[in-house]
Homo-oligomer: A and B are copies of this chain.
Amino acid sequence: MPLPRFYKLDPEQRENLLGAARAEMLEHGYEGASFNRVIERAGISKGAMYYYFADKADLYRTVTETIAEEAMAAFGDLGPVSTPAEYWGGLEGMMQRALMWITSQPQLAEIGKSVYANQGGVLDSLRARLLEGVSDILKQGQDVGAIRTDFPLGLLAEAATGMMMGADRWFTEHFAEMPSEEVMRISFAVYGLLRQLLEPQGK
């Protein structure tokens, strides 16, 4: 969260600062991005930058947040659900939209994933929010009997997210040399894997 003054800046300049930071991060990744270069890119002085952002982490966190928001908007939501079938249908739709966004914006997605990989760093709050979002979705599933209730919700969310991230990793490594219908087939199978993990057992 930038210092409050940041939001009194005219939108053009705000966009300029965040844009410069985003460009730098896209070029060099989250770790490799240089604060000094961002400042240069934005064409302002160091003093000014520190006048609006507490520190480097503050700026990068802000940028990452905007990316996360874009992703969430692209993923959409479940839609109205009152039966397990509707729930799983809604989830499948979300997953498809997510897959599309990730493949169409691979660099942005890379930064998004670094939020999940982050451990005990500055992105922790964002990570917590992500997990909360997943938990909410699972909770909805429990309410209509689509998701098992024999595990702590948080554990289920971590396990499911971890599994999906693992699968995603495999995809990013292999999907270049795969025919696209194979990608579709396997990603649908992964959806089945997730469903198998999360559905109530003994049915």
Contact = CB atoms under 8 A, between A and B. Distances in A.
Interface of A: 29, 31, 113-114, 117-121, 150-152, 154-155, 158-167, 169-170, 173-174, 186, 189-190, 193, 196-197, 201
A167 to B, nearest CB: 5
22 contacts: A31-B121, A113-B119, A114-B119, A117-B117, A117-B118, A150-B189, A151-B193, A154-B174, A155-B167, A155-B170, A158-B170, A159-B163, A159-B170, A159-B193, A160-B163, A160-B166, A162-B164, A163-B166, A165-B166, A196-B196, A196-B201, A197-B197
A163 B165 CA distance: 9
A169 B158 contact: yes
Contacts of A164: 162
Number of copies: 2
A174 B155 CA distance: 10
A189 B156 CA distance: 11
Contacts of A158: 166-167, 169-170
A170 B193 contact: no
Q: Is the interface of A mostly helix, strand, loop or mixed?
A: helix
Q: Which of A31, A162, A169, A196 has the most CB of B within 10 A?
A: A162
Contacts of A150: 189
B190 A159 contact: yes
Given A161-B166, A197-B163, A186 B152 contact: yes
Contacts of A120: 29
A106 to B, nearest CB: 13
Contact of A186 (B31, B113, B155, B174): B155
Q: Which of A31, A118, A159, A197 has the most CB of B within 10 A?
A: A159
B159 A166 contact: yes
A167 B174 contact: no
A163 B167 CA distance: 10
